[in-house]
Amino acid sequence: MHTSGKESADMNISFLFKDDFLTHYDLFSKHCPPPLSLPKGSIICKKGISSKWMYYLNEGTLKVYSDNYTGYERIIAYLKRNSIFGLDCFHPEMSSIVTIEAVTDVWVMPFTSGTLRIMMAENSDFAFDLVAYYCKVMRQLCSDAENLSINDATIRLVNFLFLYINGNDSGIDTIDMTQQELASAINCSRSCISRICARLKNDGIIKINGKGLSVSDKRKLEELCRF
């Protein structure tokens, strides 16, 4: 037995995080400096480096990943507007365990653990939503670990594609990721991704675009998923 895509959506699992703190934008604006503009390609958090800063993402897209000494990347998630990030550096003496890079030009508001303490004391709803957010993050990480350890590459890819578009409320079923980025997201080779995408295309499930791909039959994609 397996969990359907609809049920997985009810489980609140996604590789794409967006608008989780939209209702608290005014609170962040009150306690944080004005937004900073950072260009595409900026490394905002670096694995192994300590920082006292955490951030609220006003606009743009960020890639969260881990890498090794050979330069291989393992993509963990994508962040869009009204998300917060960098909380693995909540304690300034602890180094970051992931790297966070700007995929587009971004605008961010920095804050510290002291700022969080003030905001949580001031607004109990924010404190509750912060806990709920990291429960959501933990569920995504546990689901991802299970997916990588149990499923073959085809199932890992269709699971990723379905969860990605399911977390995108824009109504556009397009994934603007290269085959190498997809390979990094599900921990396999680019050639393996190419073969799987060719099969999905032949089955009428996806269309391959210039850089990324789009889902043309979400129902068929969902039927292939295993959660």
Place of tokens 């480096």: 49
- C-beta of residue 41 within 8 angstroms of C-beta of residue 60: no
User: What is the reported pLDDT for 154?
Assistant: 95
Model pLDDT for residues 187-226, shown as the tens digit of each residue:
899 999 999 999 999 999 999 987 889 999 999 999 999 8
Token look-up 């006292």 returns 52
Given a cut of 90, whether residue 75 has pLDDT beyond it is no
Average pLDDT over residues 165-173: 71
CATH of domain 151-224: 1.10.10.10
As annotated, the residues of the chain forming the CATH 2.60.120.10 domain(s) are 16-139
Give the model's confidence band at 12: pLDDT under 50 very low, under 70 low, under 90 confident, else very high. low
Mean pLDDT on 86-105: 91
Q: Say if strands 16-17 and 73-79 run parallel, antiparallel, or are unpaired.
A: parallel
Give the tokens for residue 164. Answer: 């990605």
> Which pLDDT score is estimated for 163?
86
The secondary structure element, H or E, covering residue 110 is: strand 106-111
Instruction: Give the 3-state secondary structure of residue 107.
Output: strand
Query: Which of 50, 70, 57, 160 lies closest to 101 in space, CA to CA?
Result: 57
Query: For the domain 16-139, what is the CATH superfamily, name and number?
Result: Jelly Rolls (2.60.120.10)
Task: Please tell me the least confidently modeled range out of 21-25, 119-123, 220-224.
Answer: 220-224
